[in-house]
Amino acid sequence: MSIKVALAGNPNSGKTTLFNALTGSNQFVGNWPGVTVEKKEGKLKGHKDVALMDLPGIYSLSPYTLEEVVARNYLINERPDAIINIVDGTNIERNLYLSTQIMELGIPVIMAVNMLDVLEKRGDKIHINKLSEKLGCEVVEISALKGTGIRDLANKAVKLAESKKKNTVVHKFANEVEEVIDETKGLLSADIPEEQKRFFAIKLLERDEKIREIMRTVPDVSKQIDKLEKAFDDDTESIITNERYVYISSIIKDCVTKAKSDKLTAS
């Protein structure tokens, strides 16, 4: 049986460089059905039975661009055995916004922190063990350009895919938000697997119309939306985005040490 691994990340994170390093010349290029978004698939070098799917570069799993819809529909409908989430280590705060959403899909995730060569040159440090603990997934450092850590990443991704271990979300949002997410999860029909319920509940709370289109039964979550919006005096999409940024700030505080501050000086 062949194993499917998906590669997901922001534009400019080094995804193409990594895809080329992982697959060599063994690639097939086409389009995603019905749209002019490029689809690239390859065989993982050294692992003949492992297919690697390169997803479009995206910033979020929201429904606002064709690329986001293509990527998330693939992840929901095809359920790859593992996801490699590549993040640009020099821009990690921004890249983690997508990661927090990828972790909610219930698919095993391994994070590849890219641009290690640049981080080392600057003297910046990402504490990958702490990052791994905070995210609840394995994290490796790589330089896609220099080829550092690529083989280790490939071996770990294959092992993870073979393990069939479901990803569970380790971080909790504010209590009031978690309560409403739990209530919403309880309204979802039984055809949605347990490990995917958090993702669907959050998307319904965000009034994501496109997610409704791919659900067999759509529960009425208007009471849950009302409850959250009254409690926070804001719209649900902003409330959840804000929760993600609070989580990301705590990750950055604990896991990133910079040699020089980003702040501009007056010199």
Pick 97 or 232: Cβ nearer ligand BGO: 97
Binding region for ligand BGO (CB under 6 A) out of 101-109, 115-123, 199-207, 229-237: 115-123
Instruction: Enter the DSSP assignment of 83.
Output: E
Could you say whether residue 13 binds ligand BGO (CB under 6 A)? yes
Which tokens belong to 55? Answer: 């997803």
CA 137 – CA 112 distance, rounded (Å) = 11
Question: E strands, 44-124, where?
Answer: 50-54, 82-88, 109-114
Burial degree of 256 (CB within 10 A; 0-12, 13-18, 19+): middle
Q: Is the distance from CB of 82 to CB of 5 less than 8 angstroms?
A: yes
Pick 89 or 108: Cβ nearer ligand BGO: 89
Could you say whether residue 147 binds ligand BGO (CB under 6 A)? no
Q: How far is the CB of 146 from ligand BGO (least distance, A)?
A: 6
Instruction: 72-75: list long-range contacts, CB under 8 Å, 24+ apart.
Output: 73/214, 74/6, 74/32, 75/6, 75/8, 75/102, 75/105, 75/107
Candidate list 42, 56, 57, 149; residue touching ligand BGO; CB under 6 A = 57
Binding region for ligand BGO (CB under 6 A) out of 11-19, 63-71, 94-102, 238-246: 11-19
Please report, as residue ranges, which positions from 175 to 214 form the binding site for ligand BGO (by CB under 6 A). Answer: none
Which tokens belong to 17? Answer: 């460089």
Question: E strands, the chain, where?
Answer: 3-9, 27-31, 38-43, 50-54, 82-88, 109-114, 125-126, 138-141, 256-257
Q: How far is the CB of 49 from ligand BGO (least distance, A)?
A: 25
Could you say whether residue 114 binds ligand BGO (CB under 6 A)? yes
Q: How far is the CB of 213 from ligand BGO (least distance, A)?
A: 28
Binding region for ligand BGO (CB under 6 A) out of 27-35, 91-99, 113-121, 219-227: 113-121
Cα distance between the two ends of the chain = 61
How many residues contact ligand BGO, by CB under 6 A? 16
Amino acid at 213: E
Amino acid at 228: L
Please report, as residue ranges, which positions from 125 to 144 form the binding site for ligand BGO (by CB under 6 A). Answer: 143-144
Q: How far is the CB of 43 from ligand BGO (least distance, A)?
A: 19
Please report, as residue ranges, which positions from 15 to 34 form the binding site for ligand BGO (by CB under 6 A). Answer: 15-17
Could you say whether residue 117 binds ligand BGO (CB under 6 A)? yes
Could you say whether residue 215 binds ligand BGO (CB under 6 A)? no
How do beta strands 82-88 and 3-9 pair?
A: parallel
Q: Which residues bind ligand BGO (CB under 6 A)?
A: 9, 11-17, 57, 114-115, 117-118, 143-145
